[in-house]
């Protein structure tokens, strides 16, 4: 068993995340521009699931930044990397129980983190709670709206287990257009069972539905922002276009990328 494959080797895990991300490509530059345009001078931003907080190397110096992550390893690396940035704070915390005052931040950012949360619904509630009126939330992640889609984190399930999960997800899908959101999570992802990280999303917990997330936040009073430079839905083929017509499948065919305003 390769040492680099072990999920407990956080040095490998977070370095891999950083190497596959980055902020230099044109799309990321548009995201950065949008963030900086929406945060006022000396405004405040919180990043939920910040990892090593690489975004700090690209945003304005006047922005007061809070990075939150469950990983002590990632937070300590972030603190060392940005120790000279005075208006920066880091917290080790789960996203669903933030010890932060309400209506404090102008911008909430969470990139490829929501799908790893044990309590996604409560985590979204916390994001809304700490966001200022007129503030923005930007969420980026995978989209598993289609009930037959299963993440790599359940690839150790037997045939019967996969059939059962698809059936449960089908029931979730039927209820979704009526405002009933399951926020279906996985208790025993592949990475926990085998202590391995071999494929993307081996550690995924929340089977993320874009429709579920967006409409749940709308039910909390937020409004979806149409920012075409960022929300760039890929052109779908014939089959995907048919699927997108179905109730609750509006966002099918692309990952979760959504901006909402309070």
CATH of domain 3-261: 3.40.50.150
| pLDDT one digit per residue (tens) for the chain, 262 residues | 343 444 455 555 566 556 555 788 888 899 999 999 999 999 999 999 999 999 999 999 999 999 999 999 899 999 999 999 999 999 999 999 999 999 999 999 999 999 999 999 999 999 999 999 999 999 999 999 999 999 999 999 999 999 999 999 999 999 999 999 999 999 999 999 988 888 889 999 999 999 999 999 999 999 999 887 776 655 567 788 888 889 999 898 888 999 999 9
Radius of gyration for the alpha carbons in the chain, expressed in angstroms and rounded: 18
Q: What does DSSP assign to residue 132?
A: E
- Sign, CA dihedral 22-125-190-141, equals negative
- Assign residue 55 a region: left if phi > 0, alpha if psi is -120 to 50, beta otherwise? alpha
Its pTM stands at 0.90
**Environment class of residue 61 by beta-carbon count within 10 Å: exposed (0-12), middle (13-18) or buried (19+)?**
exposed
Alpha helices in the chain (DSSP H): 10-20, 26-38, 72-81, 120-130, 159-175, 190-194, 210-219, 238-245
**Are the C-beta atoms of 96 and 127 separated by less than 8 Å?**
no
- Sign, CA dihedral 98-101-102-105, equals negative
């Amino acid at each position: 068993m390769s040492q680099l494959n072990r999920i407990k080797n956080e040095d490998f895990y977070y370095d891999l995340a950083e190497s596959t991300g980055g902020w230099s490509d044109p799309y990321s530059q548009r995201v950065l521009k949008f963030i900086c345009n929406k945060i006022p001078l000396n405004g405040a931003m919180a990043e939920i699931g910040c990892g090593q907080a690489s975004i700090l190397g690209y945003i304005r110096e006047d922005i007061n930044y809070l990075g939150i992550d469950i990983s002590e390893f990632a937070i300590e690396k972030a603190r060392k990397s940005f120790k000279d940035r005075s208006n920066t704070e880091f917290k080790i915390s789960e996203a669903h129980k933030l010890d932060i005052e309400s209506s404090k931040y102008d911008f909430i950012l969470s990139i490829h983190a929501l799908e790893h949360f044990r309590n996604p619904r409560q985590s979204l509630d916390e994001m809304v709670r700490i966001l200022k009126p007129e503030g923005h939330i930007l969420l980026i992640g995978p989209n598993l709206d289609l009930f037959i889609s299963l993440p790599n984190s359940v690839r150790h399930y037997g045939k019967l287990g996969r059939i059962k999960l698809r059936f449960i997800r089908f029931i979730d899908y039927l209820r979704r257009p009526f405002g009933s959101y399951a926020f279906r999570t996985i208790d025993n992802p592949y990475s926990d069972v085998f202590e391995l990280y071999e494929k993307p999303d081996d550690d995924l917990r929340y089977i993320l539905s874009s429709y579920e997330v967006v409409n749940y936040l709308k039910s909390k009073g937020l409004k979806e922002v149409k920012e075409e430079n960022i929300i760039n839905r890929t052109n779908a083929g014939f089959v995907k276009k048919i699927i997108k017509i179905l109730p609750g499948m509006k966002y099918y065919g692309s990952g979760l990328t959504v901006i909402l305003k309070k």
